């Protein structure tokens, strides 16, 4: 497909990387020569210097032949305006990043009136993900499918857990097929498990567990699942605001530490129920005074990745709180994974996942479209949710008779809101949605699961 | 200080007072009372003098907060001085001090009286007393703004100085339309009450006077036992309307423009009703446990609580005879008062909400020294300026209160009498406890004390600052 991306900041770059890897023709528009030069050095793309809200610039970028226009500059207004112009100029699909909380309130109106195909608010999406992690305290990572009906959570198997030395096939028996292990990470190696793999303590596993029994099962496995009642957030940015709003709705008490006095006042009037502290979150004295050692969860959302890392290491040392940090910029995923920093949220990845999932769905709007896409384990694994249409060769055939790719697992079939953990005798039917976990990146169609 | 524009505004007020005085003339004519003559005299004089003052050209149209405060307080003083004239001339209240006290009590919607026997007064005098409540309730300047296009764009200073509450909120973009809407709601509700009272078999004259007293939350009775001799139906109608006139008028405006959700989200109105219900329940329980008869006490408690909380001051029973717990609750209610933006007096529920929120904030700052908290009401931030002025209001209020108690104590009455007499006047209620209880009146005080009380009534009605500014030396300096 021909794709134009306006703005090559962090998100634009990550997105470009992903789309180029999936064999799309990408053109970048940006007003900074410096940034464009960097892109040219990194990716096989076309670049154009100019203002993306100017019609002639868009035409020069080839808007007439573009299938998709994605606006991810750092200004909402520019994104919306350029999408509007692109839509009028070429009637292509348009995607805009909109992050102002005030626009977020009536995003549906903006979307339909401006004819946008998709809007993405990375801050909001990140906050939702963090809130989910707080809701399931045992999870290091939590992703939801099928409209929140199915949850895939990731945790590390503790020592002395009953899972230690257990065969995957036995887990199914023990929990009457309620939980399913989808991915195992052992010594930086990714395993898509088959029935006879034996779990070890220290393995990081992603499992599908029904939300209702998460806490119950986790306790049995030996993971601490004390519900989180109070949360300390370092940094008072937009994510913090969204997160606090979500948490207050969940009856969790929220404390936000923010350096800028004016922002504190703003937050206080936006979030009357939250406790807003004006101070430097990296001041250990202040953290002690505000009782960080007793907080249930600590979320580091300051504007500096390094600060977030340090803060999280610090809280890990002085408290038992669940740690969640945001990483915006730095690219040391593997190193960060080794540190004891708890869960890590990458807003730019969330944006990329969201848009990629849309792009893949667009590509085969005829076939079985991708509904949801998550990238797991430092982007080495993809979990996809497909909407199933009548596909000869797949639908109506027992799973044990399908010749599936290696390192691919069908985790879940969602049939009319009923969640089925599939066994060899189950079948995929038309109208289902299925969740597939695999190390084969870039699946676009359900047919791709076959060899 | 721009004297010429203040003179112009005064002129308007005097002229309108003259026009208002023509209504008692009509009453006097109907009941064939000679006292009507004096009203005619006063009305004529007012209209002439007022027209002359308005006619004289305004040389300087600059008008600011200072002029707003000064003209509002001067208007109220002049209006009271003129309003007292018919009482003196007709011989109904021969003493100047008493007449002034009576009319100030009327205009400020206090309802405290120095008369021992009101039933013997001519009807037109009774009507003028009650009508003064109606004029003073919503404010005479608000009325003038509603009907006259005054020159200049600074009338917001006038209306905000005269309207009760920590801050004045426009209902519609145009000030004149806002004033008009306020008076339309006021007038409409008064008419409904008159109709409901007529339905209960009250005479037209009585129901007009009673409705004026309720609407302005004034409380001058036209019988010696206030509202005690009315039927339970009439008393219930009065209870309901007293409560309704104590509600912030923005509430009715929101209802009228069908923003029901916003109307019921008004924190102040909710708390006002909660306090009313709570006080009624507590006092009813106290009385029922002491004397029995739940139904009887519920009926009368609701009336008394509504009357005191909205600062109206009607009474059906003598709450001075109640047990001490009930009496103490009544005293507390006197200070809380009604909602801002209503016709009631007192410190106002919205101010108390701000006090409590400030207190909570202060405590939170003690626990978390670096926490930042913005005080909100109805989901909107209250700016620091408002919080500060609300806090200063309380200090000024307490100061005036203390000095007034001290000055009145020369008369050598007991502490409860002195304390509640000031409470009843500065909060624009009417009856206090002991010697100034519902069954008694204020005639016992010396002339000096009466002037103190007159000042308190005006200060209470105009919410202190406009009266204090008259005494600030900076006001009159060039």
Tell me the CATH number for domain A230-345.
Answer: 3.40.50.720
User: Which pair of tokens denotes residue B428?
Assistant: 């624009």
What's the CA dihedral at B252, B254, B257, B258 to 10 degrees? Answer: -100
User: Which pair of tokens denotes residue A420?
Assistant: 């089925």
Residue of A nearest to B373 (CA): A268
Question: Which residues of A fall within a CB distance of 8 Å from B383?
Answer: none
Contact: A277, B373; criterion CB under 8 Å: no
Contacts of B433 (CB under 8 A, 6+ apart): B320, B327, B330, B331, B416, B417, B420
Q: pLDDT over 90 for what percent of chain B?
A: 59
Nearest to A269 among B368, B371, B381 (CB): B381
Model pLDDT, residue B445 = 93
Task: With beta carbons less than 8 A apart as the criterion, state whether B214 and B235 touch.
Answer: no
d(CA B246, CA B216): 9
User: Which pair of tokens denotes residue A308?
Assistant: 């977030």
In this chain, the answer to whether the domains covering A2-120 and A360-449 adopt an identical fold is no
For residue B151, is pLDDT > 60?
A: no
Task: With beta carbons less than 8 A apart as the criterion, state whether A314 and A323 touch.
Answer: no
Contact: B371, A269; criterion CB under 8 Å: no
Nearest to A268 among B369, B372, B379 (CB): B372
Residue of B nearest to A288 (CA): B368
d(CA B159, CA B167): 10
For chain A, the farthest-separated pair of C-alpha atoms sits apart, in whole angstroms, at 66
Residue of A nearest to B372 (CA): A276
Model pLDDT, residue A441 = 82
Considering the entire predicted model, what is its pTM? 0.81
Task: Give the model's confidence band at A120: pLDDT under 50 very low, under 70 low, under 90 confident, else very high.
Answer: confident
Contact: B372, A264; criterion CB under 8 Å: yes
User: Which pair of tokens denotes residue B327?
Assistant: 């009496």
- H or E element, residue B395: helix B384-408
Task: With beta carbons less than 8 A apart as the criterion, state whether B205 and B123 touch.
Answer: yes
Residue of B nearest to A256 (CA): B371
Task: Give the model's confidence band at B152: pLDDT under 50 very low, under 70 low, under 90 confident, else very high.
Answer: low
- H or E element, residue A145: strand A141-145
Residue of A nearest to B365 (CA): A277
Nearest to A269 among B369, B370, B376 (CB): B376
Q: Give yes or no for A279 touching B (CB within 8 A).
A: yes
Q: Which residues pair with A4 in a beta bridge?
A: A27, A69
Contacting A with CB below 8 Å, chain B residues are: 364, 368-374, 376, 379-381
Tens digits of residue pLDDT in A247-304: 999 899 999 999 999 999 999 988 988 999 999 988 888 888 888 888 899 999 998 9
d(CA B275, CA A407): 68
Q: Which residue has the higher pLDDT, A383 or A378?
A: A383
CB count within 10 Å of CB B34 equals 10
Residue B115 lies in a domain: yes
Question: Which residues of A fall within a CB distance of 8 Å from B373?
Answer: 268, 275-276
Mean pLDDT (whole number) for B43-68? 86
Tens digits of residue pLDDT in B220-271: 888 888 888 899 999 999 999 999 999 999 899 999 988 898 888 889 999 9
Tell me the CATH number for domain A2-120.
Answer: 3.40.50.720
Tens digits of residue pLDDT in B207-234: 999 999 999 998 888 888 888 889 999 9
Contact: A268, B373; criterion CB under 8 Å: yes
User: Which pair of tokens denotes residue A262?
Assistant: 């004016």
Nearest to A275 among B371, B374, B381 (CB): B371
Contact: A261, B372; criterion CB under 8 Å: yes
Q: Give yes or no for A118 touching B (CB within 8 A).
A: no
Which residue, among A233, A272, A285, would best test binding to B if mutated, counting the most B CBs under 10 Å from its CB?
A272
Q: How many angstroms away from the CA of B345 is the closest CA of chain A?
A: 30
Tens digits of residue pLDDT in A332-353: 777 777 777 788 888 888 888 8
Contact: B371, A277; criterion CB under 8 Å: yes
d(CA A58, CA A195): 53
User: Which pair of tokens denotes residue A226?
Assistant: 């004390």
d(CA B126, CA B113): 12
Tens digits of residue pLDDT in B155-209: 777 777 777 777 777 777 788 888 888 899 999 999 999 999 999 999 999 999 9
Q: Give yes or no for A286 touching B (CB within 8 A).
A: yes
For residue B309, is pLDDT > 80?
A: yes
Nearest to A265 among B364, B374, B379 (CB): B374
Q: pLDDT over 90 for what percent of chain A?
A: 18
- What mean pLDDT value characterizes chain B? 90
DSSP class per residue in B56-95: S--S-----HHHHHHHHHHHHHHHHHHHHHHHHHHTSS-S
d(CA B125, CA B403): 33
For residue A409, is pLDDT > 60?
A: yes
Question: Which residues of A fall within a CB distance of 8 Å from B357?
Answer: none
Task: With beta carbons less than 8 A apart as the criterion, state whether B86 and B35 touch.
Answer: yes
Burial environment of residue A15 by CB neighbours within 10 A (0 to 12, 13 to 18, 19 or more): buried
Nearest to B368 among A268, A269, A277 (CB): A277
Domains identified in chain B, total number = 1
Which residue, among A233, A261, A276, A292, would best test binding to B if mutated, counting the most B CBs under 10 Å from its CB?
A276
Four-way CATH pick for A360-449: 3.30.70.360, 3.10.560.10, 3.30.70.1450, 3.20.20.370: 3.30.70.1450
Task: With beta carbons less than 8 A apart as the criterion, state whether B303 and B227 touch.
Answer: yes
Q: How many angstroms away from the CA of B314 is the closest CA of chain A?
A: 40
Question: Which residues of B fall within a CB distance of 8 Å from A265?
Answer: 372, 374
Q: Give yes or no for A256 touching B (CB within 8 A).
A: no
Residue B428 lies in a domain: no
Q: How many angstroms away from the CA of A289 is the closest CA of chain B?
A: 8
Three-class HEC string of B299-349: HHHHHHHHHHHCCCCCCCCCHHHCCHHHHHHHHHHHHHCCCCCCCCCCCCH
d(CA A205, CA B195): 77
The CA distances from residue A247 to A229, A231, A251, A344, B379, in Å, are: 9, 8, 6, 18, 19
For residue A365, is pLDDT > 60?
A: no
Mean pLDDT (whole number) for B15-37? 91
d(CA B292, CA B271): 29
Residue of B nearest to A255 (CA): B371
Among A133-137, B286-290, B337-341, which stretch is predicted with the lowest mean pLDDT?
A133-137
Question: Which residues of B fall within a CB distance of 8 Å from A276?
Answer: 371-373
Model pLDDT, residue B148 = 76
Question: Which residues of B fall within a CB distance of 8 Å from A289?
Answer: 369
Q: Which residues pair with A276 in a beta bridge?
A: A256, B372
Pairing label, strands A370-376, A297-300: unpaired
Let me know how long chain A is. 451
Tens digits of residue pLDDT in B379-436: 788 888 888 989 999 999 999 999 999 999 999 999 999 999 999 999 999 899 989 9
Question: Where do runs of H (alpha helix) occur along A74-160?
Answer: 76-90, 101-105, 107-113, 122-135
A residues 44-63 closer than 8 Å to B (CB): none
- Interface A-B, measured as beta-carbon pairs within 8 A, has a size of 33
d(CA A360, CA A354): 10
Residue B31 lies in a domain: yes
The CA distances from residue A371 to A69, A384, A432, B473, in Å, are: 20, 7, 12, 76
For residue B154, is pLDDT > 70?
A: no
Task: With beta carbons less than 8 A apart as the criterion, state whether B361 and B373 touch.
Answer: yes
Model pLDDT, residue B262 = 86
Task: With beta carbons less than 8 A apart as the criterion, state whether A404 and A195 touch.
Answer: no
Q: Give yes or no for A275 touching B (CB within 8 A).
A: yes
Question: Which residues of A fall within a CB distance of 8 Å from B376?
Answer: 269, 272
Residue of A nearest to B380 (CA): A269
Q: How many angstroms away from the CA of B253 is the closest CA of chain A?
A: 26
Q: How many angstroms away from the CA of B160 is the closest CA of chain A?
A: 25
Domain ranges of chain A: 2-120, 230-345, 360-449
Pairing label, strands A253-258, A275-278: parallel
Could you list the residue range(s) of the whole structural domain that residue B136 is in?
Answer: 3-245
Model pLDDT, residue B160 = 77
Task: Give the model's confidence band at A368: pLDDT under 50 very low, under 70 low, under 90 confident, else very high.
Answer: low
Burial environment of residue A107 by CB neighbours within 10 A (0 to 12, 13 to 18, 19 or more): middle
Mean pLDDT (whole number) for B277-286? 95
Contact: A276, B381; criterion CB under 8 Å: no
> Tokens 């009101």, residue?
B118
- Tell me which residue of A238, A260, A246, A272 sits closest to B373, measured CA to CA: A272
Contact: A278, B381; criterion CB under 8 Å: no
Task: Give the model's confidence band at B16: pLDDT under 50 very low, under 70 low, under 90 confident, else very high.
Answer: very high
Tens digits of residue pLDDT in A197-244: 888 888 888 888 777 777 777 777 777 777 889 999 999 999 999 999
Residue of B nearest to A260 (CA): B372
């Amino acid at each position: 497909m021909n794709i134009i991306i306006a703005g090559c900041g962090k998100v634009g770059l990550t997105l470009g990387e992903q789309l180029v890897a999936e064999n799309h023709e990408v053109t970048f528009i940006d007003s900074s020569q410096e940034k464009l030069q960097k892109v040219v050095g990194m990716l096989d793309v076309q670049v154009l210097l100019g203002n993306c809200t100017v019609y002639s610039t868009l035409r020069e970028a080839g808007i007439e032949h573009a299938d998709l226009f994605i606006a991810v500059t750092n200004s909402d207004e520019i994104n919306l305006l350029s999408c509007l112009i692109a839509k009028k100029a070429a009637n292509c699909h348009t995607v805009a990043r909109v992050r102002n909380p005030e626009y977020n309130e009536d995003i549906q109106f903006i979307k339909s009136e401006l004819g946008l195909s998709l809007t993405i608010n990375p801050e909001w999406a990140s906050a939702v993900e963090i809130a989910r992690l707080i809701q399931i305290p045992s999870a290091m990572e939590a992703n939801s499918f099928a409209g929140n009906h199915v949850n895939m959570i990731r945790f590390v198997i503790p020592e002395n857990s009953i899972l230690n030395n257990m065969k995957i096939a036995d887990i199914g028996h023990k929990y009457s097929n309620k939980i399913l292990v989808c991915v195992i990470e052992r010594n930086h190696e990714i395993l898509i498990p088959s029935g006879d793999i034996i779990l070890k303590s220290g393995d990081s596993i992603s499992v599908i567990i029904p939300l209702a029994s998460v806490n119950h099962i986790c306790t049995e496995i030996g993971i601490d699942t004390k519900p989180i009642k109070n949360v300390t957030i370092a940094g008072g940015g937009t994510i913090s605001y969204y997160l606090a709003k979500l948490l207050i709705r969940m009856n969790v008490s929220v404390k936000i530490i923010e350096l800028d006095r004016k922002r504190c006042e703003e937050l206080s009037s936006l979030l009357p129920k939250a406790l807003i502290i004006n101070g430097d979150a990296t001041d250990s004295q202040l953290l002690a005074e505000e009782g960080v050692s007793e907080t249930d969860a600590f979320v580091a959302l300051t504007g500096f990745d390094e600060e977030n890392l340090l803060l999280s290491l610090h809280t890990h040392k002085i408290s038992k709180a669940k740690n969640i940090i945001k990483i915006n910029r730095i690219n040391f995923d593997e190193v960060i994974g080794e540190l004891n920093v708890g869960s890590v949220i990458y807003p730019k990845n969330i944006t990329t996942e969201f848009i990629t999932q849309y792009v893949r769905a667009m590509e085969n709007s005829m076939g079985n479209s991708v509904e949801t896409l998550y990238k797991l384990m430092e982007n080495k694994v993809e979990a996809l949710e497909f909407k199933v249409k009548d596909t000869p060769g797949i639908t109506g055939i027992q799973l044990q008779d399908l010749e599936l790719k290696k390192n691919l697992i069908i985790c879940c079939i969602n049939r009319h809101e009923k969640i089925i953990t599939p066994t060899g005798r189950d079948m995929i039917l038309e109208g289902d949605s299925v969740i597939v976990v695999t190390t084969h990146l870039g699946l676009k169609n359900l047919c791709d699961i076959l060899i | 200080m721009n004297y010429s524009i203040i003179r112009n505004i005064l002129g308007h007020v005097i002229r309108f007072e003259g026009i208002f005085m023509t209504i008692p003339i009509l009453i006097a004519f109907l009941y064939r009372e000679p006292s009507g003559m004096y009203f005619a005299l006063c009305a004529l004089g007012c209209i002439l003098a007022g027209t002359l003052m308005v006619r004289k050209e305004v040389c300087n149209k600059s008008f600011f907060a200072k002029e707003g405060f000064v003209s509002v307080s001067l208007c109220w003083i002049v209006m009271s001085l003129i309003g007292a004239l018919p009482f003196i001339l007709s011989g109904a209240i021969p003493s100047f001090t008493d007449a002034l006290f009576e009319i100030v009590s009327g205009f400020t919607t206090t309802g405290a009286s120095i008369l021992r026997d009101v039933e013997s007064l001519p009807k037109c005098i009774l009507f003028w007393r009650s009508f003064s409540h109606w004029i003073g309730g919503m404010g005479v300047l608000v009325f003038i703004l509603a009907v006259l296009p005054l020159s200049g764009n600074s009338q917001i200073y006038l209306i905000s100085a005269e309207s009760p509450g920590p801050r004045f909120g426009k209902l519609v973009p145009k000030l004149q339309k806002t004033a008009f809407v306020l008076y339309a709601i006021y007038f409409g509700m008064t008419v409904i009450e008159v109709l409901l009272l007529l339905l209960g078999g009250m005479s037209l004259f009585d129901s007009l006077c009673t409705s004026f007293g309720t609407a302005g939350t004034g409380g001058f009775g036209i019988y010696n036992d206030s509202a005690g001799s009315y039927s339970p139906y009439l008393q219930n109608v009065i209870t309901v309307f007293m409560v309704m006139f104590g509600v912030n008028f923005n509430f009715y405006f929101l209802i009228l423009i069908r923003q029901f959700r916003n109307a019921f989200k008004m924190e102040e109105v909710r708390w006002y009703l909660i306090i009313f219900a709570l006080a009624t329940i507590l006092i009813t329980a106290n009385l029922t446990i002491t004397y029995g008869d739940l139904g009887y006490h519920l009926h009368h408690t609701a009336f008394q609580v509504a009357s005191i909380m909205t600062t109206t001051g009607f009474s059906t029973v003598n709450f001075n005879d109640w047990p001490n717990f009930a009496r103490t609750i009544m005293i507390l209610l006197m200070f809380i008062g009604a909602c801002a933006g209503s016709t009631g007096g007192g410190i106002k529920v919205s101010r108390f909400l701000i006090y409590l929120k400030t207190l909570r904030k202060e405590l939170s700052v003690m626990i978390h020294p670096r926490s930042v908290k913005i005080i909100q009401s109805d989901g909107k931030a209250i700016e620091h300026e408002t919080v500060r002025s609300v806090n200063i209001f309380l200090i000024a209020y307490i100061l005036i209160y203390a000095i007034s108690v001290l000055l009145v104590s020369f008369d050598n009455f007991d502490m409860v009498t002195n304390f509640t007499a000031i409470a009843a006047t500065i909060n624009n209620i009417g009856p206090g406890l002991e010697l100034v209880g519902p069954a008694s009146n204020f005639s016992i005080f010396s002339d000096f004390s009466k002037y103190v009380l007159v000042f308190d009534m005006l200060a209470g009605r105009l919410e202190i600052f406009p009266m204090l500014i008259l005494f600030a030396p900076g006001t009159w300096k060039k």
